[in-house]
Amino acid sequence: MTTDPSNILSLNNIEVIYDRVALAIKGASIDVPTGGMVALLGANGAGKSTLLKAVSGLLKAERGEITRGEVHFQGENIDALPPQTRVHRGIVQVLEGRRVFEHLTPDENLVAASAVRGTGSADVQRDRDRVYGYFPRLAQRRSAQAGYLSGGEQQMLAIGRALMTRPRLLMLDEPSLGLAPFLVAEIFDIVRRINREEGLSVLLVEQNAIAALEVVSHGYLIEGGRIVMHDSADAMKKNPDIQEFYLGGHEGRDFNEIKHYRRRKRWLS
């Protein structure tokens, strides 16, 4: 199967099953352009995190497997590669929940993350200074215990640890979860700056469609394990279904108040 060389990541009609029984992803296809920013939107349980784990290789840890389709990274089929090899190739996933080493300082967290690359001390220092340049809040708290950082600072640290691996593709899983809107805006602005200055490709998984569509160029909408919509960010923001179900609509209705079957009927008809 040939892939578009302009895409750093291509998921081609993949199917994911857990415990050899539960079908979680149903023929999903996604492309992330090299140097681009793409959002994967959807409600809780729609399959967003499962798609990321299919790329990072973490499915097996949860008794999941790709049973159909292919994952291509930089034109190469990576289905058979273990997670650590994918990290060395340049794929890094920031897991949901701001997972940091709470008993270590931000400095120590960043040094620990650099170990996967096996770089020298000068390179580690240079990468650490780069992270602190993007996240000055972390520089101010570099000697504090990470468990005592605020939620926003922990999210910044989680992203900073990912940057220490020198990724080519950064995958963020619900980075806005539990954060105040002003912190979400700050973090997303920093991610957009990193993308612009370093050409780092970003796949952003979010329930917060309002924030996500402000920083990406394209978006995908997943519902029940299927990709039901794909368009530019501008077009998705103007789409009446997206406005109604994810952006509050003209009447300000909440997403959770909308009947599931109505969304399915409109998007899949």
Of the candidates 92, 220, 194, 185, which has an alpha carbon nearest to the alpha carbon of residue 133? 194
Residues 6+ positions from 113 with CB-CB distance below 8 Å: 160, 161, 162, 164, 165
The pTM for the full model equals 0.87
* pLDDT at residue number 74: 95
Tell me how far apart the alpha carbons of residues 66 and 71 are, in angstroms, rounded to a whole number.
9
* pLDDT at residue number 178: 86
The length of the chain is: 269
Burial of 4 (0-12, 13-18, 19+ CB in 10 A): exposed
The token pair that represents 226 in the structure block: 């299927």
* pLDDT at residue number 258: 42
DSSP 190-208: HHHHHHHHH--EEEEEES-
* pLDDT at residue number 252: 41
* pLDDT at residue number 4: 75
Residue 128: in which H helix or E strand, if any? helix 121-134
* pLDDT at residue number 3: 64
* pLDDT at residue number 244: 75
* pLDDT at residue number 266: 54
Residues in the chain with pLDDT values less than 70? 1-3, 118-120, 246-269
* pLDDT at residue number 254: 42
Q: For residue range 162-214, what is the model confidence (pLDDT) as tens digits?
A: 999 999 999 999 998 888 889 999 999 999 999 999 999 999 998 888 889 99
